[in-house]
Chains A and B, each alone.
Chain A
Amino acid sequence: MQSNQTFADLFRAGGVSRRDFLKFCSLTSVYLGLSPSMVPSIVEAMEKKVRTPVIWLHGLECTCCSESFIRSSHPTIEDLLFNMISLDYDDVLSATAGHQLEDVRRKTMKDYKGKYILAVEGNVSTKDDGVYCMVGGDSFLNTIKETAADAAAIIAWGACASFGCVQNAQPNPSGAAPISDIIKDKPIVKVPGCPPISEVMTGVVTHFHTFGTLPELDRFGRPKAFYNTRIHDKCYRRAFFEAGMFVRSFDDEATRKGWCLYKMGCKGPTTYNSCSKIQWNGGTSFPIGSGHPCIGCSEPNFWDKGPFYTRLAEVPFLGSDSNADKIGVIAVGAAAAGAAAHAAVTAVKKAKAGSEDNDKA
């Protein structure tokens, strides 16, 4: 397939006449609520806009993002790959391999300088010059710097590329760093999740392809359309949360009745994602729907905020694992003991001073 095909080319190849193509453009202007004078610009865009070239790199990762991506149902992955983007390089999905494939990457970088999207799955090993992640005979650290230099924008797929995920959890042996720590001079969209929901992934690509700009981002650089609200806000078990009806162990009556998993450590109230709206695998279910508490996989550093099955994180304190309540009780106890000791000393001093006064008298 020609790599710089426009929509008009695609229509023509599909046997659509020029007359029908113009009808389609007029109808599109109606759907978009535009005035008839906008029709020529739509026609122009459809005739001149080439499919968005995408280079998809894989760093330190498990390919779960790709697995999720290829299961998209709205739009389908076929629609996306054949009609919207031109996935020029993906070392997992490409038919070619080795030098041939690396040449394709360099060619795309040259032909579409400043126009292609760099999609990154996984993060970057930075320790010891990045030797802990070698792809195509070079360190991933070098490859990503080289490929990012001429990209229009970067999409950071998944928790790895966005925030670091399990690779940079304590003690982070390979010095794994999220993309935003490595590339500072390019717009980056973070699409966190382990993996992200497929429709969210394709949605972000579709947005860039349709409007030519990145979607509106929140304070963490995530697209607001998908990461604006918490799982909790749209959770179908929210009514049980408000009612105070909680699962207390995984084999109780409440589990069977599908009550709220808050007490089982559900991170839904602090996790921004679309799982409770879009759900997974074409809307089949999502973790809470299957009776498992949310582990907050789209939140920064979620691995270090465990355990997954308690609400309150455990943190090292005085050489052992503690939580905020244990630390608080110890500190309150220390304050009470301090006050009692101080009171005792005061009493002794006072008694002494009193007896001295009595002696003088």
Chain B
Amino acid sequence: MGRIIEEIYVWRLPVRLYHWINALCTVALFVTGLYIAAPLFNPPLGEAVWYKGMSWWRYLHFASAFIFVANFLFRMYWAVFGGDKYGRFGGFRPWSPAWWGKPFLEQVESYLFLRSEEPNYVGHNPVAALAHFLFIFCGSSFMIFSGLAMYGENNPGGFNSVWFGWMIPLFGSSYTLHWAHHLMAWIFPIYLIMHLYAVFRHDVVDRTSVTSSIVTGYKHKVEEEPV
């Protein structure tokens, strides 16, 4: 085995906390959301007042949604004001043609096996940054806005209905918005597969301890293995 030549503190505590709260919430939201759309269990016969079958699933969905929203806002705050070299938006400029240039293309080529050299990044590489922007930033934003718009339907004229209710006419009707929310939920399992695969692969290929880094915060540089 190659010797560890450098230990780098990459993911600071706020980033790691965000990551795990977000992961747990996303799983909870996906599972409870699917259940709400197609409730599986029927309680035994009896009075409706004895059971809370659907209420609990909906409650779990809403509760984890509010934790998810708070966590997301916290991460946005940290990205802008945290002064965290690896946890900020800093280098991500998809509106600038320069950003799509050499580093991005090199990373894409590397993923497509068109280059033998793996570009090495301590934080997110440009492709990862783009994936996080699309799936986590845009995806979560859409789920939050559409979710709060639908939550606002429970209380017409209330805060959520006033501030997020415009999503309903934008999507044509409440039903269409529910449908879009349901469909978009599937980007999270897709993201999870890609994310886990990319992490494990980088760990195997680059041996940077990226998998454990989200628990410990540390990534490693290792000496080239003598063959």
Interface of A is mostly: helix
Q: With A239-B49, A327-B186, A335-B194 in contact, is A343–B174 under 8 Å at CB?
A: no
Residues of B within 8 Å of A257, CB to CB, are: 45
Q: Counting CB contacts under 8 A, is A336 at the interface?
A: yes
The answer to whether B174 and A311 have CB atoms under 8 Å apart is no
The answer to whether B45 and A233 have CB atoms under 8 Å apart is no
Q: Which residue of A lies closest to B170 (CB)?
A: A219
A79 CB to nearest B CB, Å: 30
B85 CB to nearest A CB, Å: 29
Q: Which of B35-63 contact A (CB under 8 A)?
A: 37-39, 41-43, 45, 48-55, 57
A-B interface contact total, Cβ < 8 Å: 132
Residues of A within 8 Å of B183, CB to CB, are: 324, 327-328
Per-residue contact bits, chain B 195-218, to A (CB 8 Å; 1 contact, 0 not): 001000100110000000000000
B-contacting 9-mer, from A120-128, A130-138, A167-175, A262-270: A262-270
Q: Which residue of B lies closest to A311 (CB)?
A: B37
What is the size, in residues, of chain A's interface with B at 8 Å between Cβ atoms? Answer: 56
Q: Which residue of A lies closest to B180 (CB)?
A: A324
Residues of B within 8 Å of A272, CB to CB, are: 174
What is the size, in residues, of chain B's interface with A at 8 Å between Cβ atoms? Answer: 48
Q: Counting CB contacts under 8 A, is A240 at the interface?
A: yes
Residues of A within 8 Å of B205, CB to CB, are: 346, 350
The answer to whether B173 and A270 have CB atoms under 8 Å apart is yes
Q: Counting CB contacts under 8 A, is A64 at the interface?
A: no
Residues of B within 8 Å of A248, CB to CB, are: 42
Q: Counting CB contacts under 8 A, is B89 at the interface?
A: no
Q: Counting CB contacts under 8 A, is B2 at the interface?
A: no
| Separation of A175 and B111 alpha carbons in the complex (Å) | 49
The answer to whether B54 and A242 have CB atoms under 8 Å apart is yes
Interface of B is mostly: helix
| Separation of A327 and B50 alpha carbons in the complex (Å) | 37
The answer to whether B227 and A361 have CB atoms under 8 Å apart is yes
Which residue in A263, A324, A338, A357 is a CB contact (below 8 Å) of B39?
A263
The answer to whether A241 and B54 have CB atoms under 8 Å apart is yes
| Separation of A324 and B182 alpha carbons in the complex (Å) | 7
B-contacting 9-mer, from A33-41, A105-113, A294-302: A294-302
Q: Counting CB contacts under 8 A, is A186 at the interface?
A: no
| Extra inter-chain contacts (9) besides given A244-B41, A325-B37, CB under 8 Å | A219-B169, A239-B49, A244-B57, A299-B175, A335-B193, A343-B201, A345-B113, A346-B204, A358-B227
Interface residues of A (CB under 8 A from B): 219-220, 224, 228-230, 233, 239-246, 248, 253-254, 257, 262-263, 267, 269-272, 296, 299-302, 305, 311-313, 324-325, 327-329, 331-332, 335-336, 338-339, 342-343, 345-346, 349-350, 353, 357-358, 361
